[in-house]
A = this chain, B = another copy of it.
Amino acid sequence: MKEELASFYQIFTTTKEAIERFMDMLDPVIEHAKDDHERLYYHHIYEEEEQRLSRLDVLIPLISRFQTEQNGNAFSPSNNTFNRLLQELNLEKFGLHNFIEHVDLALFAFTDEERQTLLKQLRVDAYEGYQYVKEKLAKINKRFDHDYEDPHAHHDEKHDHLAAVPDASTQKPQAKKRKGFTVGSLIQ
């Protein structure tokens, strides 16, 4: 568990910085929005990331606390702080997932080279972090038989459409399609 905690700490610290860079990018877009619809759209994404940032301010110290925990019994579902850690980690798995989608939506909209470059950097880290957290949590959730039920397990199994990076330049209108993505559907 200590090895996973070290990686979780790294991933969530990295994503915290990524949120801040992403919010800085959204700031002028909100300010210069062409109408209320566009402003609400970016403001909404901004607020969701702001909520996530505040949750990470709780999660990151909680990870640290268990990194230095010497008592092996603390890593047990009977310890409520450990349960809290697992709940928060499971929640922030979706935080990472949703962040990747926010970045992907931005990749469609912000087509200048500077923002494309930064967004793609942020996306590489977030995608790698998400894959790691998803894989490790699946094992951890099995190991500790706590009362957490993954609210989105079927997503990870069937709908993980995040592998492909959107490419606005190849964006073409498409014929009627099934709901849901398959790997590759975004780069057709």
Q: Which residue of B97, B159, B166 is within 8 Å of A36 (Cβ)?
A: B166
What residue of chain B has the Cβ atom nearest to residue A32's Cβ? Answer: B176
Binds B, one of A119-127, A129-137, A179-187: A179-187
8 more contacts with CB within 8 A, not counting A39-B177, A51-B151, A54-B151, are: A31-B177, A37-B171, A43-B179, A47-B97, A47-B152, A50-B152, A58-B151, A80-B83
A94 at the interface (CB under 8 A from B): yes
14 contacts between A and B (CB under 8 A): A30-B180, A31-B177, A34-B173, A35-B172, A36-B166, A37-B168, A43-B181, A44-B98, A44-B105, A50-B152, A53-B151, A54-B149, A55-B151, A57-B151
Assembly CA distance A122 to B151 (angstroms): 23
A97 to chain B, nearest CB (A): 8
**Among residues 77 to 92 in chain A, which have CB atoms less than 8 Å away from a CB atom of chain B?**
80, 83-84, 87, 91
- Residues A149 and B101 in contact, CB atoms below 8 Å apart: no
Q: Are A36 and B171 in contact (CB under 8 A)?
A: yes
Q: Is A41 an interface residue (CB 8 A)?
A: yes
Q: Given A36-B186, A168-B37, A31 and B80 touching (CB < 8 A)?
A: no
A50 to B101, CA, bound (A): 15
Is residue A40 within 8 Å, beta carbon to beta carbon, of the partner chain?
Answer: yes
